[in-house]
Chain A
Amino acid sequence: MRNTRMFILMLFASATLLWAGGRTEQAAVDTTDADLREAPMLAAMVEAGELDPLEDRLPVNPMVVDDMWEGVGNYGGGPLRKAWMGPSADRWGMEKNSSEYLVHISQDGTTVVPNIAHELEILDDGTRFVFHLREGLRWSDGEPFTTEDVRFYWEHMILEEIYVPLNPIWTRGGELAQVNILDDYTFEIVFAESYYNFPIEMTMQMREFFYPAHYGRTILPEFIGESAALALAQEAGFANVEQFLVSFGRFFWIRPEVPSMRPWVPVNDPESGIFRTERNPYYFKVDADGRQLPYIDGIEYQLVEDSESIILSIIAGDIDFQDRRVGMNDFATLMENRTRGDYAVIQWIGEAGGGHIEFNRYPQDDVLGEIFRDVRFRRAISLSLDREEITEIVTDGLGTPAQSSTNPGGAYYRESWTQAYAEYDPDRAAAYLDDMGLEWDSNREWRLRPDGQVLEVIMTVESTQNVALYELIEAYVRDIGVRWITRVVDRGLREQERDDGITEASHSTWNGWSWPVRPTSHVPVQPNRLWSREYYNYMTSGGTQGVEPGPDVAELVENWNRFGSLPPGPERDQVAERMVDFWEENLLNLGVFTQTPVPSVISNRIGNHPPDGLTHSDPLRSPLNANMIAFFFRQ
């Protein structure tokens, strides 16, 4: 605690020095000097004896980042200005600017790449995972980073479920994983059964697998006692210890008190008008010339009340990089004002697309449930949509019409899946409905259900969604005689109704980039998916709740488990292809378009920013994959 405070004080002091009287000091250090291996602000601190020299701060084998978009950059040029809507709304957005995990997911989503751990060995038929940490790593407060920090996290936080429930990935073959510390820099995770896919899933489900033990001992009730912890919690403004630990344990990256491994660490209260982060002097990555990263001294997040005012700030040139709270709706405005605001617009390829529709397979109305479970019905709805036209209208032609499927470039991409039942063919749709025995009414206006009622489907749409899109969909579905009703509700109500099993149809989030990372939309592995929640409940409750999956879904679950236990190779690919076969034929979700561009704005003063066409996806932690540590201010 004292260390952290001292460190923050030092940062402030040095920053003030540099700013207030220290213009000359700054001028004394040439920021373009190729011999300079650390930021001038740190060099000044080293010179003043306030900070250890660079060699002592870097690990023995620092991670070399040599795949920068333009090549090596330079230090200096002032903080990077961003805008955000405060810690509660945008803390995850901020997290993704500086994520550092043990290993990261590769850009194609098929494997993991070294990061804090420089090597990961997979042994004993995929049951044993040995992580080798870089030697000499340090936390942002200068304390050594070792396997003790991993052990502490596992034993005192995960197993105790201090602030986060035990994730399902830790159980394999019915048994909890074991974490063994081998030495200061080596530990292993051992499972009862093969789990080759574990590292990939880990990058999504258990991103940080460590917590600063030296700091944790000063806040966890286990070490300091309940009453002291409560006092700490109240001092920090929390009602109870649990909420304090959620904030300091789970959302630690917005807390200046908690040491981290990230390139930039917060230095003031996240609720401030401007939330400031500054470079971590102990950051473990260097560029191709061996100069410590990041190039940019800090990131500042200005608090705004509304995303529209972000757009105004961008146009006024007051923002250097903004990837969040700007969307496709702002695209034209942003493009028009590029010269005026002196910025460029980067177009990412979004993974999600839009118009993904999911049916509740077990709604309260059994007759409807039977219809929803019939694949012919889902195919008919899918065929009734003119995707070309909807995409043109809703995305100004920027999206690509497609079924809910995997995007090009993602793992196990298959073109025929993207096209499956995705053509506009109302006649074929009608044929499917005829085949199901859903007769027309006497006016030939609506189809009738087997019980004689009009076939009516209520599509619940959250008010934050693109409502126009769903209203457009309604018009097409009604053409084939299904009385489709778009009902717009608030987020809370939609969630509540879904959890109560009332919802008939609704939209879903679709992972179109790489399902092996997280097949939540594809396999019953999450409780809140409309199509699979009853199956999930059945499987997790041991058959006491929910509905037993039929043989097809049971096979899908079985295949997913097999996929996880097989090493990369033809056998695993075969299993994967069988799963894709299933999805292609069964249409768990119906999608309208995909790969809509996600715009972000970058000042023309910034070098090393990514080109258009990078994948924007949650598992990739975008904008992390823009490699912000390589951004620099052009001289």
Chain B
Amino acid sequence: MLQFMVKRILMMIPIVLLISIIVFWIIQLPPGDYVTTYAASLRAMGEDVDAAEMARMREAMGLSQPFHIQYWNWITAIVLRGDFGFSFEWGSRVTVVIASRLPATLALSFTTLLFTYLVAIPIGIYSATHQYSLGDYVATFFGFMGVATPNFLLALVLLYVAFNYFGVNLSGLFSREFIDAPWSLARVWDMMKHLPIPIFVIGTAGTAGMIRVMRSQMLDEIRKQYVVTARSKGVEERRLTFKYPVRAALNPIVSTIGWALTGIFSGSTITAIVLNLQTQGPVTYRALRNQDMYLAGGFLLILSVLTVIGTLVSDILLAWLDPRIRYERKGS
């Protein structure tokens, strides 16, 4: 096991390096660069920007250098100094931009993830063990609705209903007086009050999908012979369900826990824009659109690294959860 982990971790290094090259290549793919976008926005404001000034800006930002040199400067700064470079658009360090939105993003993502698991797993188990009951139909109905409804649409509907019938503006993570207040108990409490809506909106689709997965896995398991055997031996139904089939049915969910890391880091994008949540998602979106390449690149790279780490975590968890899973073939 230990050897397996070390090997996997060593393998991650070339993978991450390869990813970083691809990331850097992708963020430069769209035509033009940040200077083009910036000049366009200045011109839209009536400023004159001529070719000479644009060339000077490219020089100052290091955008005029060839690809491999730009990449080399970028990646060495990250590896050696943890410096992700400078966000042109925000006028500050990429790390500062990311850090400023991290607490709210993490709080929102973790609670959403918890919400998803706490709701989806019990409902999934219930609907499998009570297949074709009224409860199962209700869960299935809402499950499909949840999968089929885009989150942002749900957000819009909720915003509309809340505002039109109850006169409440639900957007944002904080009340106005707490927006730029320093962190305090009162501020945390204020955020707690605003969290349910985004959690509900962002969590629905995931919850719905997970209910379906849990249900079908459970259905597979409870028909298996070991369950029948256990039941025939008189193991109490509740104990039986939770000790054996549930554990086995959790496999696909556990193996995707790792990927949830990326979701936790980025927060959801379109929903966050609609609900006016100051999380990472909208920042990434804008960075990609405006070709704010170091910010966009930093995000993509962190996301990729998190995916790689997440996969590793999933594998380890899976091995721990399900001893049947083997990593090494003996005698090969």
Where the two chains meet, the residues of A that have a C-beta atom closer than 8 Å to any C-beta of B are: 86-89, 92, 165, 167, 204-205, 237-240, 242-243, 247, 268, 271-274, 302-306, 308-309, 312-313, 315-316, 318, 490-497, 499, 509, 518, 520, 526-528, 618-619
Contacts and interface: CB of A to CB of B under 8 A. Distances in A.
Interface in B240-294: 272-278, 282, 289-291
Nearest to B89: A88
A313 B179 CA distance: 15
Contacts of A165: 50, 52-53, 56
Nearest to A525: B48
B277 to A, nearest CB: 7
A306 B50 contact: no
B60 A242 contact: yes
Nearest to A493: B31
B180 interface: yes
Contacts of A302: 176, 179
Contacts of A494: 40
A271 B90 contact: yes
A225 to B, nearest CB: 19
Contact of B91 (A88, A272, A318, A619): A88
Closest 3 CB pairs of A and B: A492-B32, A273-B179, A237-B92
B159 interface: yes
B159 A92 contact: no
Interface string B68-96: 00000000000000000110011111001
B5 to A, nearest CB: 38
B93 A237 contact: yes
Nearest to A340: B167
Contacts of B2: none
Among A92, A268, A495: residue with most chain B CB under 10 A: A495
A359 B100 CA distance: 46
B31 A313 contact: no
Interface residues of B, number: 52
Interface in B183-232: none
A35 to B, nearest CB: 33
Contacts of A268: 180
A492 B30 contact: yes
Given A237-B96, A495-B39, A490 B30 contact: yes
B37 interface: yes
A312 B91 contact: no
A492 B37 contact: yes
Contacts of B93: 237, 239
Nearest to B277: A305
A509 B44 contact: yes
Nearest to B282: A305
Contacts of A491: 37, 40
A610 to B, nearest CB: 21
Contacts of B299: none
A469 to B, nearest CB: 17
Interface of B: 30-33, 36-37, 39-41, 43-46, 48-53, 56, 60-61, 85-86, 89-93, 96, 100, 159, 163, 167, 169, 171-172, 174, 176, 179-180, 272-278, 282, 289-291
A166 B294 CA distance: 30
A92 B32 CA distance: 23
Given A309-B171, A494-B40, A496-B36, 14 more contacts: A88-B90, A92-B45, A238-B92, A243-B91, A274-B179, A302-B179, A305-B278, A312-B159, A312-B169, A312-B171, A492-B32, A493-B31, A493-B32, A528-B43
A448 B273 CA distance: 48
B282 A492 contact: no
A305 B273 CA distance: 5
A314 B33 CA distance: 35
B224 to A, nearest CB: 49
A495 B171 contact: no
A417 B121 CA distance: 71
Contact of B92 (A205, A271, A520): A271
Contacts of A490: 30, 289
B176 A274 contact: yes
A499 B90 CA distance: 26
Contacts of A305: 272-273, 276-278, 282
Contacts of A520: 48
Nearest to B174: A273
Contacts of A273: 174, 179-180, 278
Given A305-B273, A528-B43, A243 B52 contact: no
Among B46, B85, B174, B278: residue with most chain A CB under 10 A: B46
B286 to A, nearest CB: 8
B86 A274 contact: no
A268 B182 CA distance: 13
A619 B169 contact: no
A617 to B, nearest CB: 10
A271 B176 contact: no
Given A273-B180, A306-B276, A315 B48 contact: no
A628 B30 CA distance: 41
Given A239-B85, A274-B176, A315-B163, A495 B50 contact: no
Contacts of A204: 46
Given A493-B31, A495-B36, A496-B32, A237 B91 contact: yes
Nearest to A303: B278
A492 B36 contact: yes
14 contacts: A89-B41, A238-B86, A243-B60, A272-B180, A273-B180, A305-B282, A306-B276, A306-B282, A309-B275, A313-B169, A315-B163, A496-B36, A526-B48, A618-B46
Contacts of B276: 304-306, 309
A306 B275 CA distance: 9
B163 A527 contact: no
B15 to A, nearest CB: 29
Nearest to A310: B276
A316 B169 contact: yes
A492 B36 CA distance: 6
Nearest to A308: B274
Nearest to B46: A618
B35 to A, nearest CB: 10
A350 to B, nearest CB: 14
Contacts of A306: 273-274, 276, 282
Nearest to B91: A247
Nearest to B290: A88
Contacts of B50: 165, 527
A87 B90 CA distance: 8
A361 B36 CA distance: 22
A318 B176 contact: yes
B313 to A, nearest CB: 31
Contacts of B37: 491-492, 495
A274 B177 CA distance: 9
Nearest to A168: B48
Contacts of A271: 90, 92, 100
Contacts of B159: 312
Among B37, B100, B180: residue with most chain A CB under 10 A: B180
Among A271, A306, A492: residue with most chain B CB under 10 A: A492
Among B32, B33, B273: residue with most chain A CB under 10 A: B32
B26 to A, nearest CB: 15
A619 B32 contact: no
Contacts of A316: 163, 167, 169
A204 B39 CA distance: 17
B158 to A, nearest CB: 12
Contacts of A303: 179, 278
B52 A493 contact: no
Contacts of B274: 306, 308-309
A472 B96 CA distance: 46
Contacts of A313: 169, 171
A271 B97 CA distance: 9
B85 to A, nearest CB: 7
A506 B167 CA distance: 44
Contacts of A318: 169, 176
Nearest to B173: A273
A335 B40 CA distance: 32
